[in-house]
Amino acid sequence: MWSGPRNISTAMMRSWGNRADTAVIDEPFYPFYLERTGKKHPGANEVIANGETDWRKAVERLSGPIPDGKRILYQKQMTHHLLPQVDRQWLGAVTNCFLIRDPREVILSYIKKNPEPALEDLGFIQQQKIFDFVRRKTGTVPATIDARDMRERPEESLRLLCHAVGLEFDQAMLSWPPGLRETDGIWAKYWYDRVAKSTSFQPYKPSDGIVPDRLREIHEQCRECYDHLYQFRLH
């Protein structure tokens, strides 16, 4: 599941992780991304020290046997973590889905923690490139879910997603116990406060505010990528 930051990606991981037949993995390229980019994220040194920084070994894990005797491996992926040096051919060994969110809402959320994001920090450009690569490689349109649809109509959206990837819908996906998980990344203590208190997808509420003028060009570039994927969304 390819998402950018400031989306409902962790809630989506909770939803799939609540299925008895599903194992989950949380942002497997994050340690590699932090080591290569030098980004000063909270707990970056700890993430690097305790994670897999060799992208080839990460790919082996993602395309290899599913752990714990499960039938499904749900991979929570951040599009901007898939740096250009990572070979894309392994994407043919997995089922790729895309979780999108309106860039205005992403930017307004993002600048609360980082007021000066670069275009590549927001993941939209990378998301479209991955989407287009998968579409060319498979000859099919990857399943795409919009965060607003997901929050307004969670059961309908999850049923559409499950059908699109050839799986049966499971009622357990609609709610989950609160708290952190052993499968959460070591960075959960810095980022997952809100989702740790959640037990279901939260109802959609529009974000207040407008994108600052200094970020208008970035917003327009993100909007083009978002609109490209939005036309293919499941609804």
User: What's the pLDDT tens digit per position in 218-232?
Assistant: 999 999 999 999 999
Query: What integer is the mean pLDDT of 108-128?
Result: 95
Q: Using the structure block, give the residue that is written with the tokens 């349109």.
A: 141
Sequence-distant (≥ 6) Cβ neighbours of residue 36 within 8 angstroms = 83, 85
Neighbours of 210 (CB within 10 A): 11
Confidence band, pLDDT 50/70/90 cuts, at residue 140: very high
Pick from 185, 100, 104, 197: nearest CA to 146: 100
Confidence band, pLDDT 50/70/90 cuts, at residue 113: confident
Express each pLDDT in 65-109 by its tens digit.
999 999 999 999 999 999 999 999 999 999 999 999 999 999 999
> What percent of the chain has pLDDT above 70?
100
Query: What integer is the mean pLDDT of 3-10?
Result: 97
Q: Can you name the residues that pair with 98 across neighbouring β-strands? A: 2, 144
> Residue 130: pLDDT above 90?
yes
- Res 59: pLDDT: 98
